[in-house]
Every structure is written in structure tokens, then in C-alpha cells.
Amino acid sequence: MTTSDVAAPPVVSAITIFYNGGRFLADAIESVLAQTYRSWELLLVDDGSTDAGTEVARDYAAHYPDRIRYLEHSGHRNRGMSASRNVGLQLSRGSLVAFLDCDDIWLPQKLERQVAILEEHAEAQMTCGPTRVWYGWTGDPSDAARDSLHPITAAPEGLYAPPEMLRRYLHGDALTPATCSVLMRREALSLTGRFEERFKGLYEDQAFFVKAYHKLPCWVSSEVLDLYRQHDDSYCAEALRTGEYSLDEPTAALTGLYLWCARYFVRERVRDRGLWSELLSQLVATGRYRFAPRRHA
């Protein structure tokens, strides 16, 4: 067998969006450079930063022109997370796609392990797993003690045919993955479409993964391969401070997600009564939506 007879490993397009991410962006980029799997490209999508993040990204792109590209919206505008990920998807070249937000970290074997999963399980269009919720990045032992896992589901590791993961999500038996946890086949985007640009921040990932859970066979792993950094400057932390997001109470933003899901179900002509029942239960549970009883003549 000659070298030309050996198939080239699939290219992973890693998409990192950032808005004023200068504080942590270099750490995220270095975690991609440290991957044991070497067939990747990194697209750094600037969502209109006004801090040092733009300079950091341009500097890495200049030093690694064959591996890293710097992208931005026309006029250096701020258009939100979904639109920024869509720019990365549109201009990416790999047959596999992964996401890494600018304040998160991939462990060195992340791509190697997940590429192997998709190669071993050809029927899977996507793979994901639990993510470490990472307070310990500060080096303070008391912060490290707060680290926890963001699980996908308590069900066994394995392949889940659609829409099983969506059913589990709506019932409360599964979570959508952290974006840094996912690897998917590019061809799967023909089924899911891209990120929903009406979601600029909160729930932009969940709206996309609702579509993925509805359409794609998903291999759910039990292996932790990424770190979801917790810090006071994150979008979620700011939304918690303003009350736009809550860990305990339903919010208008959450209701908006479920109403979008209902419109998506109508558009996709979902006839699964179980899925509709779970979704309507979630809408009622937000306390912001009521169903009037039918009046009979």
C-alpha cells in the first residue's frame, strides 16, 4: 500500500465566535493548537469586538495562515451569536464541524476521540457528551470545589435515533449539549439548517440543538472532553444579573424558546402527539401561557 492509497483524515472546521473576548480567547485558541488530532481549520469570527480580542485573533491568523482564519461581519458590526456562527459555517471547508466559544477549552483528545466515534458509527450524524462546568480555572481551591458536570442524559452511552433525544429534552430527562461538546457532519446541516438568527444570545444554542435532536441520529458519549468556563463577564452571567435569565424561575426568554419550538413543529409538520404534549406541558409550566378550555355547543 502506498501513501496515496491511505485516505486523508477528515478535516474538522472549528468555529470560535467572540465579542470582546480578549481576556480568554488565546486560551481557547491554544486548546485547538494542542489537539492530538491535527486535521483541522479554525475560524475566528469577530462579532464586533471593541477590546483586544480583535487584535488577538488577527495575530493568531497571521502566525498560522494555513490553519487559522479571521472573519468579521461587514462594517465590524455586532450581530449576535447565531449570525456569527452562521458566518463560520458558511465559510468553513471541513467535512466535520465543531464549536468552541472564546472562553471555553477543549481537552487535547477532544477531536481525536470524537472523530473516532463518528468513523466507528457511520449512522451517527452528531456526537456530544457531558461538559465540565469549570470554576477552577482561577486556581482557587474553593472555586475548583464548585466544578460540576453538565450532563446530556442519565441514559446509557450510545446511539439515539431521532427524535428520541428531543423527546427526552422536552420531558426533562436530557439537556441540550454545551456547544463546545459537539462534533457533527457537515452534511447534517442540510437537515437542521443553520443557527436561528432571531436568537442573538440566550437559547441560541438550544434552538439549534432542538433541530438537531429532532433530525439527527446522535451518539451520546459519557466522556468529558471540554471545559465550560464560568466567569462574571459571560453573556449568561450578565443575563442573570439583569433578570433576563434565571436558574430557578421561568422567564420571557424561555417562553420565547418554547413558542419558537411550536412554530418549528408546525413548519416541520410534526405529528408526533407525544412531542406536542411534552412541548405544551413546558409552555404551561412557564406560567406565561394558558390554554382556554374548549366550549361545546
CATH number of the domain where residue 109 is located? 3.90.550.10
Cβ burial, residue 255 (10 Å; 0-12/13-18/19+): middle
Cell numbers at 53, concatenated: 480580542
Q: Using the 8-state DSSP alphabet, how is residue 221 labeled?
A: -
Number of domains in the chain: 1
Residue type for position 261: C
Q: Is residue 3 part of a domain?
A: no
pLDDT in tens, 60-118: 999 999 999 999 999 999 999 999 999 999 999 999 999 999 999 999 999 999 999 99
* Mean per-residue pLDDT, 175-180: 96
Q: Is residue 270 part of a domain?
A: no
Q: Which of 119, 120, 210, 217 is nearest to 159 (CA)?
A: 217
Q: Is residue 286 part of a domain?
A: no
Peptide bond into 163 cis (omega under 30): yes
Euclidean distance between the first and final Cα of the chain, in Å? 79
Task: Write down the pLDDT at residue 33.
Answer: 98
Q: 38 with 108: CB under 8 angstroms?
A: no
b/e 181-209 (16+ beta carbons within 10 angstroms → b):
bbbbbbebbeebebbbbebbbbbbbbbbb
- Per cent of the chain over pLDDT 90 is 83
For residue 62, what are the domain limits? 8-245
Q: Is residue 196 part of a domain?
A: yes
Q: Is residue 253 part of a domain?
A: no
Task: Write down the pLDDT at residue 186.
Answer: 97
Bridge partners of 71, per DSSP, are: 45
Q: Is residue 180 part of a domain?
A: yes
pLDDT band of residue 35 (cuts 50, 70, 90) is very high
Report the relative pairing of strands 218-220 and 126-128 from DSSP bridges: parallel
Q: Is residue 287 part of a domain?
A: no
pLDDT in tens, 178-199: 999 999 999 999 999 999 999 9
Q: Which of 178, 173, 168, 188 is nearest to 126 (CA)?
A: 188
Task: Write down the pLDDT at residue 146.
Answer: 97
* Mean per-residue pLDDT, 42-51: 97
Task: Write down the pLDDT at residue 242.
Answer: 72
- The residue ranking higher by pLDDT, 21 or 122, is 122
- pTM to 2 decimals? 0.92
Task: Write down the pLDDT at residue 220.
Answer: 98
pLDDT band of residue 288 (cuts 50, 70, 90) is low
Task: Write down the pLDDT at residue 241.
Answer: 67
Q: Mean pLDDT, the chain, as a whole number?
A: 92
Task: Write down the pLDDT at residue 236.
Answer: 77
User: Whose grid coordinates read 451518539?
Assistant: 219
Task: Write down the pLDDT at residue 245.
Answer: 64
Cell numbers at 173, concatenated: 430527562
Q: Is residue 262 part of a domain?
A: no
> Is the pLDDT reported for residue 293 higher than 70?
no
